[in-house]
Amino acid sequence: MTPLERLLAEELPTGTFGASRPAQGPPRAPQHPTGPDPQAAEHRAELEAALVGISAPYPAS
């Protein structure tokens, strides 16, 4: 049987040429958290406290 005949012989063309697809494991959790940083307000407060008394080199608009 030629490769073309094997491809045409598939009932449902899955592209696996008769072999089953490997089983997939459970979905994994994302490596990096998504969404806003839960400590963002604390970090911003620390930054603003550190910048007290420092003037900007240009006027704020």
**How does pLDDT run across 8-59, given as a tens digit for each residue?**
776 666 666 666 667 778 888 777 777 788 899 999 999 989 988 887 777 7
Tell me how many domains the chain contains: 1
List CB contacts of 6: < 8 A, sequence separation 6 or more. 17, 18
Domain enclosing residue 28, as ranges: 3-55
Residue 42 lies in a domain: yes
Residue 60 lies in a domain: no
Residue 20 lies in a domain: yes
User: Is 61 or 41 the better-scoring residue by pLDDT?
Assistant: 41
Q: DSSP of 1-61, one letter per residue?
A: --HHHHHHH-SS--SSTTPPPPPP-PPPPPSS--SS-TTHHHHHHHHHHHTTTPPPSS---
Residues listed for the chain:
61
Residue 25 lies in a domain: yes
Residue 47 lies in a domain: yes
pTM: 0.36
